[in-house]
Amino acid sequence: MNSKFKKMIIGTALASAVFTSTFTPAFASSLSHRVVSGDTLWKISQKYQVSLEEIYNLNPQYRNNPEIRVGDTVQIPGKQQSTYTVQRNDTPWIISNKFNISLKDFLSANGLREGQHIYPGQQVIIPSTSNNSTAYVVQRNDTPWIISNKFNVSLKDFLSANGLREGQHIYPGQTVTIPSSKQQTAAPTNPPSTATPRKTFTTHTVVSGDTTWNISIKYGIPFKELLDVNGLRENHVLRIGDKLTIPVYNIPVKETPGPQYGELLDWWTEAQYVVPIGKEFAVVDFHTGRRWNMKRTIGANHADVEPVTARDASIMKEVWGGSYSWNRRPVIVEVDGRRLAASASAMPHDVQYINNNNFNGHSDLYFLNSTRHVDGRRDEGHQNNVLTAAGQK
């Protein structure tokens, strides 16, 4: 036998053996859920990651009268799933693509958060997928909403099938999955609202080296807010073991009129928590598409920002016509997978934290309702630019 051909057969067999040894099919039967106080069919469907329609199919008595009582038993459809042994260099994204499932479904099936690491040898669950989906190549001016309407599927199901977040943009030439109508999730009854920011609290135990300023930076909250929540003054001395209450903000993603626009976030209640002091992000000029990186280093009424490198400062200067300027320009801030509407000027002034970037000071970045530091008043030029970047003008 030809030695080259023999090697190819052996290599193929080994690859097949490795994949088979790391992937194990399994099936799950239906489950029983005993209703407790506060349960609704919608809450139960969310808990088990199934649709209301699937629950109705197994529990037809609830289709016309969805009222359930404490102690009732609700049948939950089991899902076909398989296990997979994580290999070297695997990530959740790589695995979800390998098995043609959405990243969201993979993370949910394994109780993982976005960005959480997995390790070689770890066993993970591969949730089942339906074969009734089709592929579609994104066209110019397409958005998730336009595509979902074109194929008569819900926006929620389209986003889920493609591992997208609400407001995330897609690009011409990108291939997306169109779920079949059978895969659609029934519209929930009175779902919880996520339109407004939600604040919870956590506790920080003071350790050696902690200061109130460093703690506020660590948790991405304004220094004054940390002091106010804990009834402290600026000169308060912390002691090891002290307990501080830390506000934690969940800022929902907002829809935009189109993929070229940014979310319109209020500075005081939303944007300052998405772009806290110490955060690095990309800035995209709204009119030219030029991009550079910046970091919020200080600022209370608006974000005081600095270019991260000398190259970033050079791009910034080019965008403003070859010289630093107080002129305002609409921009998009790209941070943590989100696109925010903002307005920027490009004149270095006052305090500087980043050295060797050829930018002697910081510049200003405004969001909706940001105000000037000098007098606390609105800057109408910046505010008009923010609305332009948000598609509101």
Reported confidence tier of residue 37, pLDDT bands at 50, 70, 90? confident
Give mean pLDDT, residues 50-55: 71
Give me the pLDDT at residue 189, please: 32
What percentage of the chain has pLDDT greater than the value 70? Answer: 81
Reported confidence tier of residue 4, pLDDT bands at 50, 70, 90? very low
Check whether 333 has a pLDDT greater than 60.
yes
The contacts of residue 122 (CB under 8 Å, 6+ apart) are 85, 86
What is the topology classification, in CATH, of domain 198-250?
Membrane-bound Lytic Murein Transglycosylase D; Chain A (3.10.350)
Reported confidence tier of residue 380, pLDDT bands at 50, 70, 90? very high
Higher pLDDT among residues 184 and 167, named by residue: 167
Among 77-81, 180-184, 253-257, 276-280, the least confident range = 180-184
CATH architecture of 134-180: Roll (3.10)
Distance CA 111, CA 124 (A): 10
CATH architecture of 31-76: Roll (3.10)
What percentage of the chain has pLDDT greater than the value 90? Answer: 37
Give mean pLDDT, residues 290-319: 96
A 10 A CB-CB count for 174 gives 13
- Domain boundaries, given as residue ranges, for the chain: 31-76, 134-180, 198-250, 267-389
Check whether 57 has a pLDDT greater than 80.
no
Of residues 58, 24, 17, the one with CA closest to residue 41? 58
Reported confidence tier of residue 347, pLDDT bands at 50, 70, 90? very high
Average per-residue pLDDT for the chain: 81
> Which of 53-62, 143-152, 235-244 is modeled with the greatest confidence?
235-244
Give me the pLDDT at residue 325, please: 96
Of residues 373, 353, 388, 369, the one with CA closest to residue 280? 353
Same fold, 134-180 and 198-250: yes
Q: Are 325 and 345 in contact (CB under 8 A)?
A: yes
Among 18-32, 37-51, 331-345, 373-387, the least confident range = 18-32
Check whether 78 has a pLDDT greater than 80.
no
Higher pLDDT among residues 129 and 342, named by residue: 342
Check whether 79 has a pLDDT greater than 80.
no
